[in-house]
Structure 1
Amino acid sequence: MITPTRSIAPDRALLSVAAQILLQLEAPRTISQTWVRLKSWRSDNGFGSPIPFGWFVLALDVLYAMDALILVDDLLMRRTENAS
């Protein structure tokens, strides 16, 4: 589930989706803005398999657990070295 397996394609593994989410966060965004941008980005880049919202939330959980993401005033942001 977190990494690709026989039943989970590489583009749907949670680590892959998490990386794709980070690409959408060049600026702080709401969760819904990030979701819309991710779906659009995946479509524009030829990822045919859709990602359900629940999978998106699990990928956000992975990023949060890895301390790569923070939520401030309802905005998702990449964690930087300077962030506390």
Structure 2
Amino acid sequence: MIVPTKGIAPQRSLLAVGAQILQTLDRPLTVSQAWSTLRQWRRQHGHNAPVPFWWFVLALDTLYALGVVDLREDTLVARRPDAAAPGRQ
């Protein structure tokens, strides 16, 4: 589920979808904007495996757990690799 398996195509694994989200998150976006941007990106790059909204949310949860995105003032923000997570130790 997080990584590709026999039942999860590489382009649908949570890490792959998370990486795709990060590629499209070049500025703060609402969750709806990020979802729309991801769907457009996947169409443009030939990723035809369906990714429902709940899978997108699981990928966001994975990114948050890894400390690479934050939700600030109702927008998703990609964190810099060198930034310390506020409130996380």
TM-score range, shorter chain: over 0.9
Q: State the Cα distance separating 1:24 from its structure 2 match.
A: 1.1
**Equivalent in the alignment of 1:72:** 72
Q: Which residue of 1 aligns with 2:29?
A: 29
Aligned AA for 1:8?
I
Code of the aligned partner of 1:28: P
Aligned partner of residue 11 in structure 1, secondary structure: helix
Could you tell me how far apart the structure 2 residues matched to 1:59 and 1:41 are? 15
Q: Which residue of 2 aligns with 1:54?
A: 54
Aligned residues: 84
TM-score computed with the length of structure 2 as normaliser: 0.90
Distance in 2, Cα, partners of 1:82 & 1:11: 28
- Match for residue 18 of structure 2? 18
Alignment partners' CA distance in 2, 1:65 and 1:13: 16
Quote the offset at 1:49 in angstroms: 1.0
Alignment-derived partner of residue 39 in structure 2: 39
Consecutive unaligned residues in structure 2, runs of 5 or more: none
Q: Which runs of 4+ in 1 moved over 3 A?
A: none
Structure 1 position 21, deviation (Å): 0.4
Q: CA deviation at 1:16?
A: 0.2
1:82 Cα deviation (Å)?
3.5
Partner of 1:3, secondary structure, is coil
Distance 1:50 1:13 in 2: 11
